[in-house]
Amino acid sequence: MKLAILFGGASFEHEISIVSAITVKEKLGAFDLSFIFCDQDHTFYRIDPSKMKAVTFSRGEHRKMPRLHMTNGGFEEKGLFGSKKYEMPVLNLIHGGDGEDGTIAAMLDFFGIPFIGPRKEASMLSFDKHYTKWFAESLGVKTLPYEILRKDDKRSVSTPYPFIIKPARLGSSIGVSVVREASELDYALDVAFEFDEVVLVEPFIAGVKEYNLAGFSARGEITYSIVEEPQKAEFLDFEKKYLDFSRSGKVEHAEVGDALVAQLRESFAKIYLPLFQGALIRCDFFEIEGEVYLNEINPIPGSMANYLFDDFGGSIQKLLGALPDKRSIRVQYDYIHSISQAKGK
């Protein structure tokens, strides 16, 4: 089965996307894969599979490879003696801006290219952590209390210490800090505001139980991954997340009871349906006093959360067979014709 991996993009998570694409390549060996790299200047390149190495991009060697352009139904490679069209479904593996903010989703939709990934509406609600809070609340899914600070606001926080500061529109724990006392606040805000003009402030709960659950819907049925309890740390910082994005080995099932698994799945289904149809997502949850709280939605999880599925290749194939159809509109010009006839023109 043919599949194109689209990765790169212009965001702070550009390198993370490269790592994810290299990892997914190794996990989808049974597919006929093509690789399309979006450089930070939004130029598309067709990458030779044998060159799918991190140094290819860090050294700029990708710029010697064929350029591609989006066209109706796929990507086109123009040459001296004509052009070649690549028509196949796309796996959107661009993390952060471009890939998760709805930009690429809108472009793929516009050109009628089938793809695995969040559609533009789902992207907008999951990319911004503030909007994710509203979205979850509207569905009856609990989240931690929070407050919002903007770059020009007075630096006053009412959340009791310790608390965690996060850029509102960024992942991979970039710009995230735990603030334990007032003397640490300004520095933490300076760091976060380097990456976004809006930050989220939440209580930091030491030792809180965390669980990750991924999944997707195909033909009316949600396929769930195993439940993972991520490695214990104060929080997953950028370096740990970076390593996480290159994971390919299977993880152990979390030691949780059936009742908690059912709660996690129920919350996941509320989040997923119907907005995330066509995507494989991962939701990260907290468990506090027997209640499940959504921490965040990963609309394009690191390395597609391959390590959480017993049969990752089979899961991708199953999802490809159930991508949502975009409604096609046929323009008839009946209105203009009726006006022209009425005017005798």
Structure confidence by residue, pLDDT tens digits, 154-193? 999 999 999 999 999 887 678 899 999 999 999 999 999 9
Please report whether residue 180 resides in a domain. Answer: yes
User: What pairing do the DSSP bridges indicate for beta strands 291-298 and 82-86?
Assistant: unpaired
Same domain for 69 and 83: yes
Both tokens of 193, joined, read 């505001």
For 208, residues 6+ apart whose C-beta sits below 8 A from its C-beta are 286, 287, 288
Same domain for 55 and 16: yes
Question: Measured in Å, how far apart are the chain's first and last C-alpha atoms?
Answer: 53
Please report whether residue 31 resides in a domain. Answer: yes
Cα(333)–Cα(47) distance, integer angstroms = 43
Same domain for 248 and 137: yes
Picking from 157, 184, 203, the residue at the C-terminal end of a domain is: 203
Please report whether residue 238 resides in a domain. Answer: yes
Q: Tell me: the pLDDT tens digits for 97-125?
A: 899 999 999 999 999 999 999 999 999 99
For 18, residues 6+ apart whose C-beta sits below 8 A from its C-beta are 7, 8, 54, 57
Same domain for 311 and 215: yes
pLDDT at 4 over 60: yes
Q: What is the pLDDT of residue 79?
A: 85
Picking from 203, 226, 243, the residue at the C-terminal end of a domain is: 203
Same domain for 81 and 129: no
- Neighbour tally for 117: CB within 10 Å: 26
Same domain for 271 and 129: yes
Say how far residue 125 (Cα) sits from the centre of its chain. Answer: 11
Please report whether residue 110 resides in a domain. Answer: yes
Same domain for 274 and 251: yes
Distances (CA, A) of 28 to 131, 248, 312: 33, 11, 8
What's the CATH code of the domain at 105?
Answer: 3.40.50.20
Same domain for 180 and 112: no
Say how far residue 67 (Cα) sits from the centre of its chain. Answer: 25
Cα(117)–Cα(106) distance, integer angstroms = 11
Same domain for 225 and 165: no
Domain residue limits at 219: 123-142+207-320
What's the CATH code of the domain at 174?
Answer: 3.30.1490.20
Picking from 203, 227, 249, the residue at the C-terminal end of a domain is: 203
Cα(92)–Cα(150) distance, integer angstroms = 30
Please report whether residue 340 resides in a domain. Answer: no
Query: How many domains does the chain contain in total?
Result: 3
Q: Tell me: the pLDDT tens digits for 238-293?
A: 455 545 555 666 788 999 999 999 999 999 999 999 999 999 999 999 999 999 99
Same domain for 216 and 190: no
Mean pLDDT, residues 42-58 taken together: 97
pTM of the full predicted structure? 0.90
Please report whether residue 341 resides in a domain. Answer: no
Please report whether residue 87 resides in a domain. Answer: yes
